[in-house]
Amino acid sequence: MDIKSEPSSRSSGEPAQTTEDRRWRLVNRTMRMHGNEPHALIETLHSVQEHFGFLDLDALKYVAGALRVPLSRVYAVATFYHYFTLKPPGEHTCVVCKGTACYIGGASSILDSIQQEVGIGPGETTSDGQISLLTARCLGSCGLAPATVFDGQICGRMTSAAVLERIRRWTNHDTGD
């Protein structure tokens, strides 16, 4: 939640107020490593997303100022590349691979069953902020298709039942206590 509070205490383009936060220091370090040059934009956005989980508008504004990249260009880059997300992720993330092998192996039926179970489609987060459902272009685990990633852990040879079992573990745990 500090993600929310941090930018509000800071006006655009002034790094001094953000250095309190260790995560901003790491982002600043990335920019410095590239000489604070405009060409560091993508590397910097990677750094922001790695440390904050997503890119919020204040972060984009800050990076634009620090690297002297036009605001609209920063927004364009952040939305052109699908690895970047402008929305905060849920507590848990489930990434379903939609590579060819996984598709042939039934990835779309896995997606359908998740949609039925928790009512969210790809790119969406449940209203309680618990679960985010994402799709990946290809995780490169085609030998183990269909593959799914639960909170960063890749699992191969998934079935709808196995995926739902994992998701229920999240939801049951959270409603249970």
Partner 1 sequence: MTTPSYTPDPTPYVRRDVNPVRILTFTIDGRDVSAREDETILSVARQNGIFIPTLCHLDGLSERGACRLCIVEVKGAPKLLPSCVTLPRQDMEVTTNSDRVADYRRKILELMYSERNHVCSVCVSNGHCELQNLSVVLGMTHVRYDYIYPKHAIDASHERFSVDHNRCVLCQRCVRVCDEIEGAHTWDVMGRGITSRVITDLNQPWGSSETCTGCGKCVQVCPTGALSEKGKSVAEMIKRRQFLPYLQMMRREGRRAVAEGIR
Partner 2 sequence: MTLAIEDLEGIAKIEKERQEGFRHRINVCIAAGCLSCQSGLVREALEKEVGRRGMENWCLVKGVGCLGLCAAGPLISVEPDGVYYQGVTVSDVSEILDSLGGSPIGRLHCPAQSPFFTRQHRIVTENCGKIDPERIEDYIAERGYEALYTVLRSMTPGEVIEQVVASGMRGRGGAGFPSGLKWTAVSKAVNNTKFVICNADEGDPGAFMDRSVLESDPHRVIEGMAIAAYAVGARHGYVYVRAEYPLAVKRVRTAIAQAERLGVLGSGIFNTRFDFKIEVRLGAGAFVCGEETALIASIEGRLGRPRPRPPFPAEFGLWGCPTLINNVETLANIPPIVRNGGRWLAGIGTEKSKGTKVFALAGRVNNTGLIEVPMGTILRDIVFDIGGGIPEGRQFKAVQTGGPSGGCIPEQHLDMPVDYESLAAVGSIMGSGGMIIMDDASCMVDVAQFFMEFCMSESCGKCVPCRVGTTQIYHLLRKITNGTGKPSDLAMLEELCDLVKNTSLCGLGQTAPNPVISTLRYFRNEYLEHIDDKTCQAGACKIGSVREAL
Residues lying near partner 2 in the complex (CB under 8 A) are found at 37-43, 45-46, 69, 76-77, 80-84, 98-101, 103-105, 136-145, 147, 153-157
Residue 155 near which of partner 2, partner 1, none (CB within 5-8 Å, type-dependent): partner 2
Region 32-61 residues binding partner 1, contact defined as CB under 8 A: 33-35, 37, 39-40, 57, 60-61
According to the binding rule CB under 8 A, does residue 73 interact with partner 1? yes
72 part of the interface to partner 1, by CB under 8 A: yes
Torsion from C-alpha of 155, 175, 134, 141, nearest 10 degrees: 0
Nearer to partner 2, 125 or 148 (CB): 148
Interacting residues with partner 1 (CB under 8 A) = 33-35, 37, 39-40, 57, 60-61, 70-76, 79-80
